[in-house]
Structure 1
Amino acid sequence: MTSYLVKPPIDLGEATVQNYKKSLNLASRLYLRADADDKKTISGMISDCEYAIEWLSTGRRPGNKRGIERRAAYQRERLVDPLKMQAYVQNSKAGSPSNLTEWQRFQIQDALSRLSDRERECYVLAHGECFSFSYIADLLGISRSSVEEYVERAQRKISEDLQSSLFLIS
């Protein structure tokens, strides 16, 4: 590394658009004087600064087509608390705060009882065991898209049941 990169670091303050623009300007000037090895590192720094500037300026992660506020309802809602679903699958009775009461266990059983066997199996493996769709597909000998469809169908049914079942109201 050349000596101009070994200078003490410059504190540019908190993460603001202006400070990232200062960093970008500084990195761009260093890039012009750097040798081939350093140019690769500095270009990575430049792209990181540009990414952060875009994120801070727009308030959205760069590259996303839709912000979280414009997601479809099924993408935003959590039908079952993941910790409760995992506690249900583990069936643990120890003193952990994530363990379920008998009423909570009954509510989950009621929600799962309305699903087909395959939907229940895929939903529990995905949300209770936290397995990926690909792993579940390999485990059950079906395609990944089938697993995704079963889980989506199960979520849709549980969502509909949340509106109508007396047992699922917290």
Structure 2
Amino acid sequence: MQDLLKEYKETRRQLKRAYEARREGEKVLDNQAITERQLLSEMIGDVEYVIEWLETGRRPGNRRGIERRATQQRVRLMDPIRMQAFVARSTAGSPANLTEWERQQIEDALCVLSERERECYVLAHGECFSYEAIADMLGISKSSVATHIKRAQAKISERLMNSLFLVG
């Protein structure tokens, strides 16, 4: 990785030298000279972008790396496969077969939800419907679906933290 970084820095030095040579060597600017300088300028910018990415380990311009995302953006409350198996209640050869204990745990986590929150949450995470499709089915707005699911996730998260039944 360090070798690659050295090569990019050397390339940047060469490009800057070529840019300066074009700028100082030409007293009269024609279209070809302007195009060459613009091309060199773009190449320098691209190389600097890669150098910054290699040095920091993050995409340049991002305010926050993936490891610093908000909790709700990186944590799934329930395994989607388990949730889908719970909703399908299928036992026929699926790799996601649930034991009775796992079914009870999911049922316990969902018991704190209101009827509408449960409908929205199960349709979104168990049946994999989009928010728009859920809104059409239930006759509510898409933002209401998002609100119900957000509340449901908060309640499930709280339940998972405080329930001894859901440990393990």
TM bucket, shorter chain: 0.5 to 0.7
Distance in 2, Cα, partners of 1:153 & 1:169: 22
Match of 1:4 in 2: none
How many correspondences in the alignment? 148
Match of 2:114 in 1: 116
Q: State TM-score, norm by structure 2.
A: 0.66
Q: Which has the larger radius of gyration?
A: 2
Deviation at 1:18, TM superposition (A): 6.5
Unaligned runs of 5+ in 1: 1-15, 25-32, 34-42
Map 1:111-150 onto structure 2 (within 5 A). 111-150=109-148
Q: Which amino acid aligns with 1:158?
A: I
Q: Which amino acid aligns with 2:90?
A: S
Q: Indicate how the Cα distance of structure 1 residues 141 and 17 shifts in structure 2: closer, same or farther if over 3 A, else same.
A: farther
Instruction: Tell whether 2:101 aligns with 1:103.
Output: yes
Distance in 2, Cα, partners of 1:77 & 1:83: 15
Q: Indicate how the Cα distance of structure 1 residues 117 and 61 shifts in structure 2: closer, same or farther if over 3 A, else same.
A: farther
C-alpha RMSD over aligned residues: 3.5
Distance in 2, Cα, partners of 1:161 & 1:78: 14
Deviations 1:63-93 (A, max 9, x none): 5432222222222222101110111111111
Q: Percent same amino acid at aligned positions?
A: 65
Deviations 1:129-155 (A, max 9, x none): 222222222222222221111111111
Q: Indicate how the Cα distance of structure 1 residues 67 and 118 shifts in structure 2: closer, same or farther if over 3 A, else same.
A: same
Map 1:2-13 onto structure 2 (within 5 A). none
SS of the counterpart of 2:104? helix
Q: Which stretches of structure 1, 4 residues or more, deviate above 3 A after TM superposition? A: 16-24, 47-58, 61-65
Match of 2:76 in 1: 78
Q: Indicate how the Cα distance of structure 1 residues 116 and 23 shifts in structure 2: closer, same or farther if over 3 A, else same.
A: farther
Q: Which has the higher mean CA deviation after the structures are superposed, 130-139 or 101-110?
A: 130-139
Deviation at 1:19, TM superposition (A): 7.2
**Larger proportion of helix:** 2
Unaligned runs of 5+ in 2: 13-31, 33-41
Match of 2:85 in 1: 87
